[in-house]
């Protein structure tokens, strides 16, 4: 009897340990997914000032207009390495507070426990001092369906096909991005008078699109729609290479690269 008691309890212990591992793994996956769903936008400042200049102010205004459904979670201010810690701590916080006020005045959504902090120069310094004079805005997007956006658009308006990604230096769509094409196809079917131009853009290449990847990618979208029954008279496409960047090339960070690397549709008719 004593032997069976130990065997049964040993099996229980193994069962509990096994399930504890599963729970910890699920918690870790949940934490990672939440962490990586958060996005970041950076605003840059001139030396020793806490208000944005005209160029940065315009970029912030453009970002706000395109991300009205964003929920702001954290605002962190930073400084370059010039000056004392105490001075830079105050300057960094002033920058963060300036951006918070601008976002609130623009009607942006904020989480209840918004983090607004100034780190001065105590954080790891980037090589280019200009990149340290910034405020990072951390946010999450509440995605609006493409179909609802289309109904509100007029001739000349553009819509970026978010999450439409391709294999490197190719026009082949990644499998995880195929639902974006399916959604666009359904919109074209449901709106028979809708006509669009598909426009491709690349990032990171000031010398131009030597391989014409931007044309290749928007042609992929064009061919997909035609292959699935959309009349070619309703469609056109054009690759712009790196001639129409949203941010100057070379880009400062991955966010700006991602914004420049895009496929958009422009409304030609929408009756």
* Res 37: pLDDT: 52
* Res 143: pLDDT: 64
Low-confidence ranges of the chain (pLDDT < 70): 1-37, 143-144
CA angle 212/217/223 to nearest 5° reads: 120
Q: How many folded domains does the chain comprise?
A: 2
Task: Single out the residue in 122, 141, 160 at which a domain terminates.
Answer: 141
* Res 152: pLDDT: 83
Q: 198 and 177 in one domain?
A: yes
Reference 90, options 119, 111, 67; nearest CA is 119
* Res 193: pLDDT: 92
* Res 19: pLDDT: 52
CA–CA separation, 204 vs 160, rounded Å?
18
Q: 207 and 262 in one domain?
A: yes
Host domain of residue 188: 146-269
Q: What is the pTM of this model?
A: 0.53
Task: Single out the residue in 101, 122, 141 at which a domain terminates.
Answer: 141
Structure tokens at 61: 């205004």
* Res 57: pLDDT: 94
Q: 174 and 106 in one domain?
A: no
Q: 163 and 55 in one domain?
A: no
* Res 264: pLDDT: 96
Q: Residue 252 falls within a domain, yes or no?
A: yes
* Res 69: pLDDT: 82
* Res 84: pLDDT: 93
């Amino acid at each position: 009897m004593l032997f069976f008691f130990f065997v049964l309890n040993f099996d229980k212990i193994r069962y509990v340990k096994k399930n504890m591992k599963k729970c910890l793994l699920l918690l870790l996956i949940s934490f990672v997914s939440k962490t990586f769903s958060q996005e970041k936008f950076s605003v840059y400042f001139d030396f020793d000032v806490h208000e944005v200049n005209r160029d940065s102010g315009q970029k912030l205004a453009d970002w706000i207009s395109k991300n009205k459904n964003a929920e702001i979670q954290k605002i962190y201010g930073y400084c370059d390495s010039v000056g004392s810690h105490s001075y830079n701590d105050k300057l960094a916080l002033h920058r963060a507070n300036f951006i918070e006020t601008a976002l609130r005045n623009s009607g942006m959504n904020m989480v209840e426990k918004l983090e607004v902090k100034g780190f001065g120069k105590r954080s790891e310094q980037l090589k280019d001092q200009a990149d340290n004079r910034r405020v990072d805005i951390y946010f999450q997007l509440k995605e609006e369906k493409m179909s609802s956006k289309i109904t509100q658009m007029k001739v000349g308006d553009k819509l970026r096909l978010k999450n439409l990604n391709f294999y490197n230096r190719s026009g082949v769509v990644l499998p995880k991005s195929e639902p974006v094409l399916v959604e666009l196809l359904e919109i074209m079917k449901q709106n028979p008078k809708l006509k669009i131009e598909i426009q491709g853009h690349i990032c990171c290449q000031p010398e131009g699109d030597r391989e014409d990847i931007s044309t290749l990618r928007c042609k992929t979208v064009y061919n997909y729609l035609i292959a699935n029954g959309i009349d070619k008279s309703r469609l056109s496409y054009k690759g712009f290479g790196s001639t129409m960047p949203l941010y100057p090339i070379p880009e400062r960070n991955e966010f700006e690269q991602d914004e420049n690397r895009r496929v958009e549709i422009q409304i030609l008719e929408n009756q």
